[in-house]
Copies of this chain bind each other. A is one copy, B any other.
Amino acid sequence: MSNLIITIGRQFGSGGRQIGRRLAEELGIDFYDRALITAAAKKSGFSEELFEMMDKRATNSLLYSLSMFGGSGVNGMSLTDQLYLTQANLIREFADKGSCVIVGRCADHILREYPNRFDLFISAPIEDRIRRIQSSPDREFEGNKSPQSTLEKMDKQRATYYNYYTGKVWGKADHYDLCINAGRLGIDKSVELILNFVNGLKE
């Protein structure tokens, strides 16, 4: 059996990253998200600051940053495209190395040819998401924005990035094997349910 690959797309503040980490722990497999970026930065020679900056850009339009960085790279590729390709190569290396959970970064699309893959999408009610981002110690928010507009902006950014690089629609149920509103069960029971699904997969 090939490596088990669990990819997770998630609304901002939904608890998707936390669920991913818990799944990896329960299954005893690797977990990748922000660590992925750092690894990519080191490996590719991009400056880590550039990745961080692009990642945190709360712009409404990826196209803006695409044009901003467009044409300034080597091989006629924009820096954004180079970054995407670098991350895609790393994601494939991780998936080849062993079973793992990968959060975000279009991993479902990048690994679409990997047969033993399980694609998750996590959502949550807006109140839960606001509570989560407000209590999160490692998040930075724009002080003059409401939590709701921050969430909307981040989701829009994720959707634009995903749609641009995959040609699919972020958060459309039929792209995924399982989509959960984590607010209905809470994190623990959501993790349990996902494990039941993964363990029940048809052979």
Within residues 58 to 105 of chain A, which ones have a CB less than 8 A from any CB in chain B?
Answer: none
User: Of the candidates B172, B180, B192, which one forms a contact with A178 in the assembled complex, judged by CB atoms under 8 Å apart?
Assistant: B180
Residue A167 CB within 8 A of the other chain:
no
Residue A202 CB within 8 A of the other chain:
yes
Q: How large is the interface on A (under 10, 10 to 19, 20 to 34, 35 or more residues)?
A: 20 to 34
Contact A172 B174, CB 8 Å, known A184-B202, A189-B200, A193-B193: no
Residue A133 CB within 8 A of the other chain:
no
Residue A179 CB within 8 A of the other chain:
yes
User: Of the candidates B173, B189, B193, B196, which one forms a contact with A173 in the assembled complex, judged by CB atoms under 8 Å apart?
Assistant: B173
Residue A177 CB within 8 A of the other chain:
yes
Cα distance A192–B193 when bound, in Å?
11
Would you give the 0/1 interface string for A165-176, flagging 1 where the beta carbon is closer than 8 Å to chain B?
000000111101
